[in-house]
Chains A and B, each alone.
Chain A
Amino acid sequence: MQQQLSKPAPVQVVVADDDAFQRAYTAAILRKLGYETREAADGLEALELVRALKARILVCDLDMPGLDGHELARRVRAEFTDYYVHILMVTGQEQNRERERALEAGVDDFMRKPLDTITLKARIRTTDRLMRHEILLAERSRVLEEAKERIEEDLRAAADAQMRMLPPPRLKVADCLFHSAFKPSNFLSGDMFAFYELSPGYIGFYAIDVAGHGVHASLMSVALGHLVTAGMMRENAFTDGRPDPARLVAQLNRRFFRDDGTEYFTMFCGILEAETEQLHYCQAGYPSPLMMSRSGAAREVGDGGFPVALLDSAEFESQVTRFGAEDILVMFSDGATEAENREGLAFGESRVEAVAASAAVMPSTIPGRIVEALTEWRAGRLLDDDLTVLVCERKHVS
């Protein structure tokens, strides 16, 4: 890392004193110590030099015509906020009260007249050390800032790739219409969902929420997205030709369970059988979706189930509920219910239901309305957890 840092520029010191002899004397000592010096006969000239040279060390007299030492220090502090200018002030023997004022104005240290080589040498060395340290820190923070930008650029690219894996926000599958909203809490999401026609009359879908969030959770959610495809579902979510989503879930549980692991996910996996108007589902720790009529009357689907990959002994059941032609199924990750307002109050199931119900006449608006309600609830603060809203509307009449 040290080698990436550029060498500090030669140190320039501005010496301000209205007394030409004093000025030349101070400058001569500084040059002997290896500094480049520029001289100013008054405060205003000194300020201009500091500005023009981007000088970081200023040695100035207290009493100067026009802009005196106090005012010069105040202006320097006000103007140069990007980097620090060290101000050493030269004062007379009897100017203790003046020193207090000078400290308030922003002067760093004092030297008494008559100035001697030893004092100046000691003070300037200290200042020099501080300055070099500041330059080093500034350089390091610049390197870190650049690294952060590169990482964020990578994350944005990864987030784009993740978004491209998802179905579009509105997609017709056979005679069903799916509407969705997907909001990662920070670039990448641990949520995943998909839906597809498995065979004529059978529509399969799932929503997954990997525990935790961020890069770690997103790696698993993307892996799951690639794994659970229509083909995989066709092969694994039926038993003797009948829909059996729990079979697929149990398989994922076997595949992802690790004795020493802490990674797991919750899932809702459903297969709609159009002819019988039945939804076969397996709820694996995912929040209970809402089965809603167009009038907004709702019931919860499922009363829970083990998450996936948390316990090797977990058993999963396929259950059945009616999914009528006019019904809407509203699925949402716990990012919706657990979102807290400024007072720490969670948004909760009942508010999700109320918002969904108010939009039930136009199911396509439900995801957007829930996102809006949550944005308002959070009052501008970002979501703490990833959010997914997935709405399935049957028998869409376009």
Chain B
Amino acid sequence: MIRMTEETNEGICVVSPGTERLTAANASMFKEEMLALVDDGKDRLVIDFSDVTFLDSSGLGALVGLLKRVGNRGDIVVCTLADNVQQMFRITRMNKVFASYADAASAVRALKERV
């Protein structure tokens, strides 16, 4: 389901979840596919939510599960969150866990500055 839309020379990948709704129905598939990327050495990830209109608690669980797996050896940031997704990040304090950017370009720029 996931689609990689960009890969920079620095090894930063922009990934779209490839669904409008990241929910209990597809969260574990999303997580597995993302983990396969990580296991493939791609652990500097920008998850681009431009196409995602709805994220439920299971979707959030998958994101955090991914973050736990990557741990300190990589980066996971998010960008282009819809209003309701942003609201959910705020209520669950995930805005303190995931750095969030307005668009993919600024997320990639920010990751390039992190070494």
Contact = CB atoms under 8 A, between A and B. Distances in A.
Task: Specify whether A and B are partners.
Answer: yes
Interface stretch (B3-11, B35-43, B91-99, B105-113): B91-99
A310 B24 CA distance: 16
A23 interface: no
B91 A264 contact: no
Nearest to B60: A211
A304 B90 contact: yes
Given A285-B93, A287-B91, A288-B91, A259 B57 contact: no
A262 B92 contact: no
B53 A338 contact: no
Interface residues of A, number: 27
Contact of A213 (B24, B62, B65, B93): B24
Given A213-B24, A311-B64, A304 B57 contact: no
Contacts of A305: 92-93
Tell me if A's interface is mostly helix, strand, loop or mixed.
loop
B60 to A, nearest CB: 7
A344 B53 contact: yes
A387 B42 CA distance: 39
Q: What range describes how many residues of B lie at the interface?
A: 20 to 34
B114 interface: no
A303 to B, nearest CB: 7
Q: In terms of DSSP, what is the predominant structure of the interface of chain B?
A: helix
B26 interface: no
B56 A338 contact: yes
A307 B92 contact: yes
A224 to B, nearest CB: 15
B42 to A, nearest CB: 21
A301 B88 CA distance: 15
A39 interface: no
Contacts of A314: 93
Contacts of B60: 211, 307
Contacts of B24: 212-213
Interface in A279-337: 285-288, 303-307, 310-311, 314, 334
Interface of B: 24, 28, 31, 53-54, 56-58, 60-62, 64-65, 68, 84, 90-93, 97
